[in-house]
Amino acid sequence: MDDTDRQLLDVLRADARVSIRDLAARVGISRASAYARVKRLRDTGVIRGFTVDVDPAALGLGLPAYVHVRIKQNSWKTFRQKAWALEEAVHVALVAGDFDGVLLVRTRDAEHLRELVLERIQSLPEVLATQTVLVFEEHAG
């Protein structure tokens, strides 16, 4: 990884649909070099894929929250599978600290969030406790 690779990644993060020609022009390298570098970044796993940035509010999922979860020992794998099965879960992480896992969930409204946490997440046999943190504002990098 050098500065040129970092510049390519910056441009691709901002617009993954940019053409190789435009990508090369923005970074100041030849098209052949841009193509070869992007291919190498993909082949080595630096670029894992290309995605679409969807506005959750436009889909009716305007209330994001982090649900911190304390789980029974040795139950991470089964909890993780069940957490990913929740259609509202967009990120599931094993963490260190007071809680064992953190879920980023997106819901329609407070009632939907209440039902998700109190009736579905807390009813999982692996779950010992939860703490919900509402997100007031988000900024992606």
CATH architecture of 3-43: Orthogonal Bundle (1.10)
Considering the chain, what percentage of its residues have pLDDT values greater than 70?
A: 99
Q: Are 93 and 42 in contact (CB under 8 A)?
A: no
Beta carbons within 8 Å of 25's beta carbon, 6+ residues apart? none
- Average model confidence (pLDDT) for the chain? 95
Is CATH 3.30.70.920 what the domain over 56-134 is classified as, yes or no? yes
> Which of 31-35, 47-51, 125-129 is predicted with the least confidence, judged by mean pLDDT?
47-51
Global confidence as pTM: 0.78
- pLDDT tens digits, residue range 75-129? 999 999 999 999 999 999 999 999 999 999 999 999 999 999 999 999 999 999 9
- Write the DSSP assignment of 75-137 as a string of letters: -HHHHHHHHHHSTTEEEEEE--SS-SEEEEEEESSHHHHHIIIIIIITTSTTEEEEEEEE-S-
In this predicted structure, what is the pLDDT of residue 140?
Answer: 74
pLDDT score, position 141: 63
- Give the start-to-end residue ranges of the domains of the chain: 3-43, 56-134
Is-same-fold flag (3-43; 56-134)?
no
Cα dist from 13 to 17, 23, 48, 96, 130, whole Å: 10, 11, 12, 29, 33
Who has greater pLDDT, 52 or 122?
122
